[in-house]
């Protein structure tokens, strides 16, 4: 009934930002660069799964910002 | 970029933006026509039908004969506006236009039938008739793709709500708004907590699913389930289950609440407040309130639902996001994620801004002209706006009916259903008591 987007935002100056972006890319996130940050999007990896994988790789919850968007599919009231 | 969906649309491609543009554009155009002495343009577009019976069926024919341009003008105005929106949002314009044409034909048909005295006597006025026709055809027949592309329930209800702002003076919002917020907060907090506790403590469900169900049952239905589900990082399946629950109960309440209000002899304003407190979705709520058949019910419903409940989804999202990262997710390296206060704005339903702007605009117009012109403006400008609002809601009700597929709504376990049902058992009586006893005098005073 919904589409979803998991978005991870990594500050360019954040510690281990390069490692974090590489880890996200290996999880299947699409990466794009913005002036002061890197944005990783996925419509297949759910947020909790992404967070658990990043924790298992040793990243802290404050190394990145995690956003989730759900959008109702056609016709849902 | 291969796996990114176009979920995070830019502002100019969002339904809210276009609902605001279209509705405020209509309000400005009708107002300009009034002051330029061209009110016939508005009255021609605002097609309406008198009540008729078997003996007076000629009345319907005379409506078409006296104003043959009306159906075409109404269709052309909304087709142009909606297809412009469709092209920018990214829908298939040709399919959408063809689908809207058929939806328009259905809407004229159910409006003519809903104006029949006998059907009115059976309480089968346009809103319920639109729902019933839509549900029967949507569940019994396979609808063509091009028609389905025009069934945009959320888009039409947002257009209707912004137009509603133009028919609801801002002074009423200021007077009754705080009360609506108080009543809504009492019910929303109680219902959310009850559903969440039932889901997590009694039924052992995940707290994120509990929060998503609680939001759907207490704040603003599907929109809240989506916003709160995202804020607490619920799973996609959690949000789908919550949406199914909201739709099932919201559709049931379209029939139950107006029936209950009539059986209990509630005044229209009180009935509207009860529906606004206890219905689960805006679109369904407008159908239920319109079924009462009195403008006061629609006004008090709007105050309760839009002003009292919908506006606060962003604050709920912030609170739930904080709970999720501090209580439900655990912490990595001893530190929980930061919760961004921008969550409030991100989740705020933007079409409400259009509703408020429309209300302020019309109120300013009315207070800046003398009473004689004000009375004429109410009749010749706000009157047609009410009629156009009615058409937007009729397309909403038809779309609800056509898209409610009961088979698809029953794919969930019994535990989410039970948790939501417990919330309904609290929400409906509590909303009734607050509307009919505690705050009744305020709702009765709304004219």
In terms of C-beta density within 10 A (0-12 exposed, 13-18 middle, 19 or more buried), how is residue A23 classed? buried
Say if A35 is an interface residue toward chain B (CB within 8 Å). no
Choose the mutation target among A41, A47, A58, A70 for the interface with B, i.e. most B CBs under 10 Å. A70
From CA B166, how far away is CA B46, in angstroms rounded? 15
Q: Which residue of A has its CA nearest to B154?
A: A77
Band of residue B3 on the pLDDT scale cut at 50, 70, 90: very low
What is the reported pLDDT for B87? 96
Terminal alpha carbon distance of chain B: 54
Instruction: Assess whether pLDDT exceeds 60 at residue B338.
Output: yes
Instruction: Assess whether pLDDT exceeds 60 at residue B6.
Output: no
Instruction: Assess whether pLDDT exceeds 50 at residue B304.
Output: yes
Residue matched to tokens 């008591």:
B433
Residue contacts between A and B (CB atoms, under 8 Å):
117
Both structure tokens of B172: 């009423």
From CA B401, how far away is CA B432, in angstroms rounded? 26
Band of residue B33 on the pLDDT scale cut at 50, 70, 90: very high
Q: Which residue of A has its CA nearest to B336?
A: A61
Query: Alpha-carbon Rg of chain B, whole angstroms?
Result: 22
* Residues of B with Cβ-Cβ distance to A67 under 8 angstroms: 230
Say if A48 is an interface residue toward chain B (CB within 8 Å). yes
Q: What is the mean pLDDT of residues B5-20?
A: 81
| Beta-carbon separation of B7 and A4 below 8 A | yes
Side-chain-facing half-sphere of B211: CA atoms under 13 Å:
25
Say if A43 is an interface residue toward chain B (CB within 8 Å). yes
A35-69 pLDDT per residue, tens = 899 999 999 999 999 999 999 999 988 899 999 99
| Beta-carbon separation of A76 and B153 below 8 A | yes
pTM: 0.90
What is the reported pLDDT for B290? 93
| Beta-carbon separation of A30 and B3 below 8 A | yes
Band of residue B284 on the pLDDT scale cut at 50, 70, 90: very high
Q: Measure Cα distances from B78 to A30, B26, B193, B209, B257 in Å.
A: 39, 10, 42, 39, 31
Side-chain-facing half-sphere of A9: CA atoms under 13 Å:
12
Instruction: Assess whether pLDDT exceeds 60 at residue B155.
Output: yes
From CA B208, how far away is CA B205, in angstroms rounded? 8
Produce one character per residue of B350-369: b if its CB has 16 or more CB atoms within 10 Å, e if not.
ebbebbbbbbebbbebbeee
Band of residue B61 on the pLDDT scale cut at 50, 70, 90: confident
Give the ipTM of the model, two decimals please.
0.88
What is the reported pLDDT for A75? 65
Q: Which of A3, A55, A70 lies nearest to residue B332, judging by beta carbons? A: A55
DSSP B303-357: IIIIIIIGGGHHHHHHHHHHHIIIIIS--BTTBPPP--TTHHHHHS-THHHHHHH
From CA B217, how far away is CA B281, in angstroms rounded? 9
| Beta-carbon separation of A62 and B149 below 8 A | no
B61 min Cα distance to partner chain A (Å): 34
Task: Specify which residues B97 forms β-bridges with.
Answer: none
B147 min Cα distance to partner chain A (Å): 11
What is the reported pLDDT for A32? 94
Among B6-15, B46-55, B380-389, the least confident range: B6-15
Q: Provide, rounded to the nearest whole percent, the portion of chain B with pLDDT above 70.
A: 97
Instruction: Assess whether pLDDT exceeds 70 at residue B424.
Output: yes
Q: Provide, rounded to the nearest whole percent, the portion of chain B with pLDDT above 90.
A: 80
């Amino acid at each position: 009934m919904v589409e979803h987007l998991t978005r991870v935002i990594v500050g360019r100056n954040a510690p281990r930002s390069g490692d974090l972006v590489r880890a996200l890319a290996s999880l299947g996130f699409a990466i794009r660069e913005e002036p002061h940050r890197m944005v990783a999007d996925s419509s297949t990896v759910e947020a909790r799964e992404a967070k658990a994988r990043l924790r298992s790789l040793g990243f802290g919850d404050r190394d990145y910002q995690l956003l989730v968007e759900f959008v109702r599919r056609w016709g849902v009231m | 970029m291969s796996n990114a969906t176009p979920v995070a649309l830019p502002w100019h491609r969002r339904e809210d933006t276009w609902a605001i543009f279209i509705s405020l554009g209509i309000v400005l155009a009708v107002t300009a026509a009034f002051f330029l002495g061209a009110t016939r343009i508005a009255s021609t577009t605002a097609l309406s039908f008198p009540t008729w019976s078997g003996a007076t069926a000629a009345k319907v024919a005379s409506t078409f004969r006296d104003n043959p341009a009306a159906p075409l003008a109404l269709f052309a105005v909304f087709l142009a506006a909606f297809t412009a929106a469709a092209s920018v949002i990214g829908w298939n314009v040709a399919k959408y236009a063809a689908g809207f044409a058929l939806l328009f034909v259905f809407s004229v048909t159910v409006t003519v039938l809903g104006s029949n005295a006998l059907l009115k006597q059976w309480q089968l006025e346009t809103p319920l008739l639109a729902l019933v026709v839509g549900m029967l055809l949507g569940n019994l027949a396979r609808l063509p793709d091009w028609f389905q592309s025009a069934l945009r329930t959320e888009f039409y209800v947002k257009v209707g709500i912004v137009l509603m702002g133009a028919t609801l003076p801002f002074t009423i919002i200021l007077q009754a708004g705080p009360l609506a917020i108080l009543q809504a907060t009492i019910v929303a907090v109680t219902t959310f907590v009850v559903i969440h506790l039932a889901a997590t403590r009694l039924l052992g469900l995940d707290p994120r699913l509990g929060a998503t169900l609680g939001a759907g049952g207490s704040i603003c239905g599907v929109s809240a389930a989506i916003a709160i589900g995202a804020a607490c990082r619920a799973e996609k399946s959690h949000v789908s289950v919550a949406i199914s629950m909201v739709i099932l109960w919201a559709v049931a309440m379209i029939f139950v609440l107006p029936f209950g209000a009539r059986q209990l002899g509630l005044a229209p304003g009180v009935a509207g407040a009860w529906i606004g407190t206890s219905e689960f979705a805006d679109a369904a709520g407008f159908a239920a309130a319109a079924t009462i058949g009195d403008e006061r019910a629609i006004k008090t419903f709007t105050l309760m639902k839009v002003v009292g409940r919908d506006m606060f989804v962003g604050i709920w999202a912030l609170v739930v996001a904080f709970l999720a990262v501090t209580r439900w997710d655990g912490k990595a390296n001893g530190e929980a994620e930061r919760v961004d206060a921008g969550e409030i704005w991100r989740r705020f339903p933007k079409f409400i801004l259009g509703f408020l702007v429309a209300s302020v605009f019309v109120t300013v117009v009315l207070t800046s002209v003398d009473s004689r012109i004000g009375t004429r403006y109410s009749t010749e400008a706000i009157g047609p706006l009410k009629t156009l609002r009615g058409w937007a809601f009729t397309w909403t009700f038809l779309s609800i009916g056509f898209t409610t597929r009961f088979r698809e709504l029953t794919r969930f376990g019994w535990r989410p259903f039970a948790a939501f049902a417990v919330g309904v058992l609290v929400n409906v009586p509590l909303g009734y008591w607050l509307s009919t006893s505690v705050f009744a005098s305020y709702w009765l005073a709304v004219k």
